């Protein structure tokens, strides 16, 4: 199977994929785990995680910097820059 266009993960999917993969349904988990499938995340998601963490909500204990380092260490997904125009070819 040929990989398709890159998938841009929103904050919820990014957190579930990185921290709680068991929350993802089987087919989606398989697609996200396929190393041939390019994955992207936005730095805006890291900002969102940092803001939520700063609110000291019970049950939300995610360090945005550690999340970013872990994601980049894994080699996928890649960080999508914030730009004034939306990238094309994303699913």
> Cα-flanking dihedrals φ and ψ of residue 41, to 5°?
-135, 155
What global pTM score does this model have? 0.71
24-46 b/e (C-beta count within 10 Å ≥ 16 → b): beeeeeebbeeeebbbbbbeebb
Q: Could you tell me which residue, 6 or 4, shows the higher pLDDT?
A: 6
pLDDT in tens, 33-89: 888 888 888 888 888 999 999 998 888 888 888 888 887 776 656 666 666 665 666
Rounded to an integer, what distance in angstroms lies between the CA atom of residue 91 and that of residue 55? Answer: 31
Those residues whose C-beta lies under 8 Å from the C-beta of residue 39, and which sit 6 or more positions away, are 6, 7, 9, 32, 76, 77, 78
Rounded to an integer, what distance in angstroms lies between the CA atom of residue 60 and that of residue 32? Answer: 23
């Amino acid at each position: 199977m040929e990989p398709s266009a890159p998938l841009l993960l929103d904050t919820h999917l990014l957190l579930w994929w990185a921290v709680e993969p068991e929350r993802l349904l089987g087919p989606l988990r398989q697609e996200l785990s396929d190393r041939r499938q390019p994955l992207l995340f936005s730095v805006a998601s890291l900002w969102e995680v940092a803001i939520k963490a700063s609110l000291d909500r019970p049950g939300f204990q995610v360090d945005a910097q550690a999340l970013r380092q872990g994601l980049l260490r894994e080699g996928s997904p890649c960080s999508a820059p914030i730009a004034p125009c939306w990238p094309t070819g994303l699913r």
